[in-house]
């Protein structure tokens, strides 16, 4: 029971929340600007590296509060980078064909990889988990690392917060209206370009903070940029193209299926994520949650 | 608007002849390292051209093109190891046929249900499956790769050519790539090519004109995949090693970069893009980290300043100087 049901379920849920935290910013930017940002992983990676440097700077402090504060710092730094990227790259991209945003953000991914190599070098780094999250909890025979429980809680909390903002606040209603018809929103007096800037900065902030939060789980190297981006695209598209609720559900579905699949067929780890993704796209090409924007 | 279909065969043949002549003369003047880069470039040109047959001509965005390159490579390597007496040309042809069959199977399922971004993401998911399979399947060498792929001896009936000697394999690659490019050129300019172009511009109208939209899309996907599989098969003996990295999604991004960088609406676009990319990579190879920054920045600059790619930009400049009254707006795709 534990080995075949609860344990894979827990691991799948943990992986799903890792993917979801990575994908939130991507989903927001795609949902509103319709830019599929390849460089998202690059900025996630910069967030992780910034957090790593701050940890080094304060002398390996691993208290819970410091960890959260450092992740927020990483988010702010990456958010500020987002401000620059929006001005120089995303804004001009609005005028050209969609396919070109693919190449432009891929170019941006290369730049982030190069920048990380130039600033931090190519060697591998890692950071210890904060003391409070270092242990593990046993529920019967089920082994649950405290850090994984924490990430699952953060994932659910982030989803609840985003959903609340989108459905129940003025900002959220504004987001949804701009996402569904930017022209009309502009006619009604919304400053659409400034709103786009806000969304990009928010999306980048989310990427950076995710980089900081997930840092204890990662080995830092310039390869980190391209590690999660394909899974993130999977969750984004299976969820229904830029829809937070769909992305959340898709991340859980794909990762839990993958976790159970790995039990059956352990030779090729990660295989079932893509098999489930292929099947979901073929059976439900409109996505889990169709039609709704954000 | 001038249609690229009217491009005269004589002009393209002349350009091709000059390029091939320069490439064939390369080993006489260039150092070994550069010859290796150019040989790889020849295969990447085929890779880019075949992708653009799907995108520029048909409007299909495949994000898993590298998996066909890898499948062709591994297929040839496995066949050459298992049947050492088989004629190498049969091995290369077999790799192409295998790519075509696989593309038809995938296309039958994938193209019917999904197009646009979905097709892109679906091909991406399938290519990840190929990548994971290649990295964990023991007979194919797993992460360490398929080692010891030999450059074969070509039995031409009356005489034999040992491709392992000197620059023979380089010359073979250049000539074979030229042949593959000619296949793409021919498809592009044939009646099928015109049908594909009609589908790219407006699938619904094309269907009303009696064009088999689904069939032609499948055909474009199959031809592009087969041509790429042959290029992949040629790549194995060139490197004498294949690692799962040839199926990685970052390699699938390459033909997209080549085509958009060079210009998707011209046959020569991916050629220019691949060459430009290779020059950038070769020129910055010793600058760790800064190499990516320079390549990325130049790509960005091209996309933001010349959305039609290098050839599209040149075309716009030429037209602007020829007819100053007309704006450059119409050349933007």
The dihedral through the CA atoms of B55, B61, B63, B68 has a sign that is negative
Torsion angle, alpha carbons of A50, A51, A52, A53, to 10? 50
Q: What is the CA radius of gyration of chain B?
A: 20
Interface touch A282/B114, C-beta < 8 Å: yes
Q: Does B249 touch chain A (CB under 8 A)?
A: yes
Contacts of A237 in chain B (CB under 8 A): 117-118, 121
Strand partners, B161: B154
Here the tokens at position B41 are 């470039």
**Cα distance from B48 to chain A (closest Cα, Å)?**
14
Q: Does B130 touch chain A (CB under 8 A)?
A: no
Interface touch A110/B307, C-beta < 8 Å: no
Here the tokens at position B83 are 């049947």
Q: Which residues of chain A are modeled with pLDDT < 70?
A: 1-2, 60-62, 99, 290-293
Chain B residue closest in CA terms to A93:
B304
Q: Identify from B123, B288, B300, B310 which residue to disrupt to test chain A contact, counting A C-beta atoms within 10 A and taking the largest count.
A: B300
Which residues have CB under 8 Å from A1's CB, separation 6+? none
Interface touch B129/A122, C-beta < 8 Å: no
Q: What is the pLDDT of residues A157-204, one digit of tens each?
A: 999 999 999 889 998 888 888 888 888 888 888 888 888 999 999 999
Interface touch B124/A282, C-beta < 8 Å: no
* Cα distances (Å, whole numbers) of residue A264 to A260, A272, A277, B275: 7, 10, 18, 46
Q: Does B256 touch chain A (CB under 8 A)?
A: yes
Query: In chain B, which among 142-201 make CB contacts under 8 A with chain A?
Result: none
Nearest Cα neighbor of A249 from A223, A284, A217, A220 is: A284
Among B291, B307, B332, beta carbon nearest to A114: B291
Q: Does B279 touch chain A (CB under 8 A)?
A: no
Strand partners, B242: B146
pLDDT at B331: 46
What residue has token string 């991507």? A26
3 state SS for B181-220: HHHHHHHHHCHHHHHHHHHHHCHHHHHHCCCCHHHHHHHH
Contacts of A114 in chain B (CB under 8 A): 289-296
For residue A124, how many C-alpha atoms fall within 13 Å in the half-sphere facing its CB?
A: 4
Interface touch B136/A267, C-beta < 8 Å: yes
Q: Identify from B292, B294, B305 which residue to disrupt to test chain A contact, counting A C-beta atoms within 10 A and taking the largest count.
A: B292
Contacts of A277 in chain B (CB under 8 A): 121, 125
Contacts of B118 in chain A (CB under 8 A): 237, 281, 285
**Cα distance from B127 to chain A (closest Cα, Å)?**
9
Q: Reply yes or no on domain A2-283 having CATH 1.10.3470.
A: yes
Interface touch B124/A108, C-beta < 8 Å: no
Interface touch A278/B129, C-beta < 8 Å: yes
pLDDT tens for chain B, 333 residues long, are: 445 545 578 888 888 999 999 998 888 888 888 999 999 999 999 999 999 999 888 888 888 999 999 999 999 999 998 988 888 899 999 999 999 999 999 998 888 766 777 788 888 889 999 998 888 887 877 878 888 888 888 777 778 888 878 888 999 999 999 999 999 999 998 888 888 988 888 888 988 988 888 899 999 999 999 999 999 999 999 988 899 989 888 899 899 889 988 888 889 999 999 999 899 888 888 877 688 888 888 888 888 888 778 888 888 888 887 765 544 444 444
The dihedral through the CA atoms of A83, A84, A85, A88 has a sign that is positive
Nearest Cα neighbor of B267 from B49, B58, B55, B60 is: B49
Query: CA–CA separation, B319 vs B333, rounded Å?
Result: 15
A-B Cβ pairs (cutoff 8 Å, strict): 128
Query: In chain B, which among 2-61 make CB contacts under 8 A with chain A?
Result: 55, 61
**Cα distance from A158 to chain B (closest Cα, Å)?**
26
Q: Does B253 touch chain A (CB under 8 A)?
A: yes
């Amino acid at each position: 029971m534990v080995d075949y049901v609860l344990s894979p379920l827990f691991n799948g849920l943990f992986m799903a929340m890792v993917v979801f935290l990575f994908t939130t910013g991507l989903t927001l930017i795609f949902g509103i600007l319709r830019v599929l940002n390849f460089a998202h992983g690059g900025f996630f990676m910069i967030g992780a590296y910034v957090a790593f440097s701050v940890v080094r700077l304060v002398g390996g402090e691993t208290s819970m509060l410091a960890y959260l504060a450092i992740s927020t710092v990483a988010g702010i730094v990456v958010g500020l980078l987002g401000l620059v990227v929006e001005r120089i790259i995303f804004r001009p991209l609005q005028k050209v064909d969609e396919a070109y945003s693919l190449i432009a953000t891929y170019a941006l991914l290369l730049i982030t990889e190069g920048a990380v190599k130039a600033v931090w070098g190519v060697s591998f780094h890692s950071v210890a988990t904060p003391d409070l999250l270092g242990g593990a909890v046993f529920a019967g025979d089920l082994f649950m690392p405290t850090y994984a429980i924490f990430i699952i809680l953060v994932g659910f909390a982030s989803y609840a917060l985003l959903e609340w903002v989108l459905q129940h606040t003025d900002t959220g209603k504004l987001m949804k209206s701009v996402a569904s018809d930017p022209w009309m929103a502009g006619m009604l007096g919304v400053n659409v370009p400034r709103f786009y800037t806000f969304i990009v900065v928010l999306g980048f902030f989310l990427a950076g903070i995710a980089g900081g939060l997930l840092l204890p789980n990662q080995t830092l190297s310039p390869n980190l940029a391209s590690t999660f981006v394909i899974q993130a695209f999977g969750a984004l598209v299976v969820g229904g193209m830029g829809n937070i609720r769909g992305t959340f559900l898709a991340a859980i579905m794909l990762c839990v299926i993958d976790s159970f699949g790995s039990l059956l067929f352990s030779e090729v780890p990660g295989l079932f994520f893509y098999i489930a993704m292929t099947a979901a796209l073929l059976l439900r090409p409109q996505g889990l949650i169709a039609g709704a924007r954000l | 608007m001038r249609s690229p279909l009217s491009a005269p065969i004589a002009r393209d043949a002349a350009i091709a002849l000059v390029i091939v002549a320069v490439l064939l003369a390369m080993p006489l003047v260039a150092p070994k390292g550069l010859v290796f880069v150019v040989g790889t470039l020849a295969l990447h040109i085929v890779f880019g051209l075949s992708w653009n047959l799907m995108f520029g001509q048909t409007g299909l965005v495949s994000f898993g093109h590298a998996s066909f390159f890898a499948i062709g490579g591994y297929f040839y390597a496995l066949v050459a190891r298992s049947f050492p007496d088989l004629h190498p040309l049969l091995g290369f042809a077999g790799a192409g046929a295998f790519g075509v069959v696989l593309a038809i199977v995938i296309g039958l399922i994938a193209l019917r249900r999904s197009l646009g971004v979905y097709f892109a993401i679906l091909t991406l998911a399938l290519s990840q499956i190929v990548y994971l399979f290649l990295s964990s399947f023991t007979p194919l060498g797993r992460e360490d790769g398929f080692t010891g792929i030999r450059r074969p001896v070509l039995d031409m009936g009356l005489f034999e050519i040992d491709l392992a000697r000197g620059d023979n394999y380089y010359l073979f690659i250049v000539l074979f790539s030229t042949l593959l490019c000619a296949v793409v050129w021919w498809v592009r300019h044939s009646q099928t090519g015109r049908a594909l172009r009609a589908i790219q511009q407006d699938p619904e109208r094309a269907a009303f004109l009696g064009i088999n939209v689904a069939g032609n899309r499948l055909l474009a996907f199959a031809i592009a995949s087969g041509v790429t599989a042959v290029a992949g098969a040629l790549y194995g003996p060139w490197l004498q090693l294949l690692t799962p990295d040839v199926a990685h999604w970052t390699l699938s991004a390459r033909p997209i970069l080549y085509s958009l960088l060079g210009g998707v609406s011209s046959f020569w676009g991916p050629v220019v893009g691949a060459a430009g990319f290779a020059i950038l990579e070769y020129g910055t190879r010793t600058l760790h980290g800064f190499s990516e920054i320079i390549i990325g920045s130049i790509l960005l600059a091209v996309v933001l300043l010349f959305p039609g790619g290098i050839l599209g930009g040149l075309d716009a400049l030429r037209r602007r100087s020829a007819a100053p009254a007309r704006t450059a707006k119409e050349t933007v795709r």
